[in-house]
Structure 1
Amino acid sequence: MPEEKDHINDVFRYDSKWDDLLDNKRFISEFCSDVLEDYIISQRWYGGKASALKYIDIEDFFKIENENDLFYGVVLEVNFKEAFVQEYFLPIGLVKEKDYVDYNIIARIDLNGERGYLVDATLLESFRAQIFNKIVEGDKYKYNQVEYRRGRKCEDNAYESSKFLNAEQSNTSIVFNDKYILKFFRRVYTDQNPDYEISKFLTNKGYFTNTPGYSGSITLRFSNKNIMTLALMQELIPNQGDAWEYFVNNIVKSYSKLSENKCKVKDLKIIEKYKQVGLDDIDPKLLKWFDRAIFEDIEKLALRTAEMHISLGMERINASFTPTPYTYDYTVWLKNRLMYMLDNRINLLENNLHKLDGMMVDMAKYLLENKKEVKKRFLDFDESQLKSERIRVHGDYHLGQVLVQNRDFYIIDFEGEPESTIRDRKVKQPPLKDVAGMFRSFNYAIYATIFNNLDQYKHSIDDLFHSAEVVYSYMVGVFLNTYIQKVQNNNLNIGYINEIEFLLEYCLLEKAIYELGYELNARPRWSIIPLKGIVNILKTKQ
């Protein structure tokens, strides 16, 4: 049973009916100050826990109703003492018995003498059924202010069943009819959500099929230019889990063989950085303990990544998706963004040195001593030297954003980098930024295997680190061999080899610095992985 907050035992009384409650000014005032401030900070989807909440306002609300039930969609404006604002979407309903929602209530309420409970409406099947039926109805002009859209991949015409997908943290995902997954965006923005925008684009173009097809959406329209994506419905992809778990499990099995077979790790050579490698070119000594099937999977993942980028880069009419050259304005935007991020990470690292120990301290000090070199590398970006093009990209591409089914891969979650503004997530970027993100994820998977199982391995830490760099170099080589060939054969302009290597190195350093901030805030013990990545890059001569 959920922990009860102070306000939960209070009964809020109003001389109003449910259908006009949100016109009651006293309710609005008490709901925002006495109820929501306690309620929202206990929700998994609330992203402001690290900041000091100042006050909450209701920015907008609308009715969601049919002949039997009435709910409200509420857009909350959360103001923080640090002088910034976040917006959240909370659909609410009224029930007579709290066991309908497993006692998970927002507040007790009395309307004209009738007792009830305010609850998150997504917990109610009647709400979920109404939402689905409005989407499949597909009349986006029928309801004032709110557009329910039916997508191309929606084949059903009526609600049958629904259940929650428990994996979500920042959003709320519901499976409908065992065929579709509807994601309610809890943190919302006055703009089209990139996940909705890219999903709809890829589905309507129809070239890239290894992603869930767009099946519907809910949009709140303030005016012709100001809109807010509240929900996205897509095909449910049958899967065996995400690629992070899949690859880590297989890497763990390979490292068990390394320990059992007492292989001489130092006999293995790290291949030249960014050298393209075919499956038949992998060192046989490595394949004695590291499963060839993992490299086959990397080859398939590279193919799917290339197909995604080809599809995102083939548009010639819709300006939101047409490929674009590098410009001075982009360079200014990029450098300002990276300088801000670097200063933030350096400050964070200095303030958290006491949480680090062992080799992490040495790596952290190396970074602090070489922060000018990092800054120089970020500022060395010169758009006049780049001949490739920028496109819309995934933006937060890693193994956790990929589903696995029968050794094939399906790419999901195009929302972009969580730290970035909604506008920044839509800036066209080098497709190699996604590739670099995946390479960092490979690096994480290898080193997570080592650090999580260190006591089980017979090799020294130096030997294990050497093996990790060997495996990583081959993963990168196999991926690039497939990826570069595929995109170039389909006329996606990623530049010649020198430009490819420059952009990869640049984006890898950016990604590792970004990761460092996350790890220092969330799990300092894991900071060793981005720190090692940063040190490796800095020790490589440009």
Structure 2
Amino acid sequence: MLEQLLAAWLPQQRWFGGKGRPIDSVSVDADVELGPGLRHLIVAVWQDGSRDRYQLFLGVRDELPDRLSHALIGIYRDKYHYDAAHDADRTSWLLTGMAHGTTAEGLRLRHTPGAAIDTSPRSLVLGAEQSNTSLVYGDAYICKLFRRLIPGVNPELEIVSALAARNAPHIAQPYGWIETDLDGTPTTLAIMQEFLSTANDGWALALASVRDYYGIPDPAPAPWETAPADPNPVTAANAGGDFSAEAHRLGAATARIHVELARAFPTATVQPPEIKRMAEEFRRRLGRAMAEAPQLREHAEEIETVFQRLDEVSVDVPIQRVHGDYHLGQVMRTTTEWIILDFEGEPGQPLGERKALSSPLRDVAGMLRSFDYAARHLLAGHPEAGRLEPRAADWSARNRAAFLDGYAEGGGQIGGAQEPLLRAFELGKAVYEVVYEARNRPAWISIPLAAFGARPA
């Protein structure tokens, strides 16, 4: 049976969310024939009494070319069944369907109003993703297939469409989407946007800057050997590793996006009593985190002091739609500007939480933490980490300050009553990171632990 093949194949896929747990059953909830040798499946997977649903473009061939052998699911009824997302001969249907607004048995392919889609490019699967699958069509489009399905409109489609309608800057233009009804709710299956073929990833650019900064030769026989004190020490201001101009531009772009989001969607305010409840939640999370990561205990007093400052907030705090999972890996630098991507919110959180209004300082704090990670990422396990730590601190401090300056110049609000909230968001994020590293990468735990000090936000 096809379900048996899927039960064996699904746990091997990087986007499958139930790894490490036995599968109780697999069933095909929906099966739509899209054309010769191409079907769209919605597959229900039961594990530990709970159900997750995944989508699959299923290819069927009498013979399977070698180029598709890695996508094989299995042989069923004397035919090869495989993941057709990897088959450029089949995925052209998606491009054509969006261009023409095709509907097939409840599967709806749509294009952004006014968008003209070139249907000639062939697709190629990007290989780095963990939870979705993205198809790049030539150098024009990137189509993200959401593998695990959650009923509802995806926040990224909702946000990018609204911003594009306002001609907002700093986004990748949307071209189309695919949707169906799941549990009676319109549900996003895929989004197609502009492919930034010549842009550079923000995380990669930051790491290149850090490498340049650390790689400046010392007056010693070898670059990493201890050297006498330099009477003219190199700092990030005069090193090839300076990234502060880009950090400033990114801060301004972030503020502009926040301004546009506040204009495109409803906003609200949070009153001081709710801020105090937020502080209590931060404290509860810290208590749970210390039980799992004892390294936090020596910093508990400092962290508690930051959280207690939220009790002093006496004014209403604005909240709005935000990015929700903001870091250097979510931004791209084109030849002219920073582009912000992936407005899906924090992975794994319920859709309602990912769409909930929040302080834009949550995004700011996420980017500040990302600068710290970029600065210290290369020091994890490095034999000269102690000697290089001051350089890491300097690189991070300069770029954090430049980002915040740019954010303020771009219209973002970070002063006054906002400052304690920003610091609380940042340390709350660092507490989460300590627990994550303790569970998954103990050698990296020093990176988030470095967040706890007397520095200002």
Q: TM-score, normalised by structure 1?
A: 0.74
Can you list the C-alpha shifts for 1:145-204, whole angstroms capped at 9, x where unaligned? Answer: 222110247422534322122232221111124310001011221111112221212112
Pairing 1:44–2:14 present:
yes
Partner of 1:389: 318
Partner of 1:528: 446
8 Å contact 2:268–2:318 — kept in the other structure? yes
Partner of 1:294: 243
CA distance in 2 between counterparts of 1:177 and 1:480 reads 37
User: Matches of residues 381-420 of structure 1 in structure 2 within 5 Å?
Assistant: 381=310, 385-406=314-335, 408-420=337-349
The alpha-carbon distance between structure 1 residues 148 and 451, as it changes in their structure 2 partners (threshold 3 A), is same
The alpha-carbon distance between structure 1 residues 41 and 309, as it changes in their structure 2 partners (threshold 3 A), is same
Pairing 1:117–2:46 present:
no
Partner of 1:23: none
Partner of 2:127: 166
User: Matches of residues 454-473 of structure 1 in structure 2 within 5 Å?
Assistant: 454-455=382-383, 461=386, 463-473=387-397
CA distance in 2 between counterparts of 1:330 and 1:481 reads 28
Partner of 1:503: 421
Deviation at 1:541, TM superposition (A): 9.5
Partner of 1:9: none
Pairing 1:439–2:368 present:
yes
- Which protein is richer in helix relative to its size? 1
CA distance in 1 between counterparts of 2:177 and 2:85 reads 16
Deviation at 1:296, TM superposition (A): 1.1
8 Å contact 2:268–2:320 — kept in the other structure? yes
User: Matches of residues 358-397 of structure 1 in structure 2 within 5 Å?
Assistant: 364=295, 367-369=296-298, 371=300, 374=303, 378=307, 381=310, 385-397=314-326
- One-letter identity of the residue aligned with 2:65: D
User: Matches of residues 145-184 of structure 1 in structure 2 within 5 Å?
Assistant: 145-152=106-113, 154-184=115-145
Deviation at 1:263, TM superposition (A): 8.9
Partner of 1:236: 195
8 Å contact 1:301–1:409 — kept in the other structure? yes
Partner of 1:60: 29
SS in 2 for 1:286: coil
Where does structure 1 lack aligned partners over 5 or more consecutive residues? Answer: 1-26, 269-284, 316-320, 351-363, 489-493
CA distance in 1 between counterparts of 2:178 and 2:230 reads 55
- One-letter identity of the residue aligned with 1:80: Q
Identity of aligned residues (%): 26
Deviation at 1:439, TM superposition (A): 0.8
Deviation at 1:42, TM superposition (A): 0.7
Match of 1:304 among 253, 257, 260: 253
Deviation at 1:70, TM superposition (A): 4.9
Pairing 1:108–2:75 present:
yes
Pairing 1:254–2:213 present:
yes
Partner of 2:97: 134
CA distance in 2 between counterparts of 1:55 and 1:339 reads 38
CA distance in 1 between counterparts of 2:8 and 2:409 reads 54
Can you list the C-alpha shifts for 1:218-240, whole angstroms capped at 9, x where unaligned? Answer: 1111366x122110100111234
User: Matches of residues 208-357 of structure 1 in structure 2 within 5 Å?
Assistant: 208=169, 210-222=170-182, 226-257=185-216, 259-260=218-219, 286-287=235-236, 289-291=238-240, 293-315=242-264, 321-327=265-271, 334=278, 338=282, 341-342=285-286, 345-349=289-293
- One-letter identity of the residue aligned with 1:147: R
CA distance in 2 between counterparts of 1:395 and 1:52 reads 29
SS in 2 for 1:313: helix
Can you list the C-alpha shifts for 1:422-458, whole angstroms capped at 9, x where unaligned? Answer: 2211111111111111111111111123346x44x5x
CA distance in 2 between counterparts of 1:448 and 1:504 reads 23
Q: TM-score, normalised by structure 2?
A: 0.87
CA distance in 1 between counterparts of 2:432 and 2:114 reads 36
Partner of 1:478: 402
CA distance in 1 between counterparts of 2:320 and 2:307 reads 20
Partner of 1:74: 41
SS in 2 for 1:414: coil
Can you list the C-alpha shifts for 1:64-113, whole angstroms capped at 9, x where unaligned? Answer: 424xx1533222333333x6543322222221113362253212111xxx
Name whichever of 425-434 and 237-246 sits farther off.
237-246
The alpha-carbon distance between structure 1 residues 383 and 212, as it changes in their structure 2 partners (threshold 3 A), is farther
Deviation at 1:55, TM superposition (A): 2.0
SS in 2 for 1:314: helix
- One-letter identity of the residue aligned with 1:136: A
SS in 2 for 1:228: strand
Where does structure 2 lack aligned partners over 5 or more consecutive residues? Answer: 221-226
Cα RMSD, aligned residues only: 3.2
- One-letter identity of the residue aligned with 1:244: W
The alpha-carbon distance between structure 1 residues 137 and 333, as it changes in their structure 2 partners (threshold 3 A), is farther
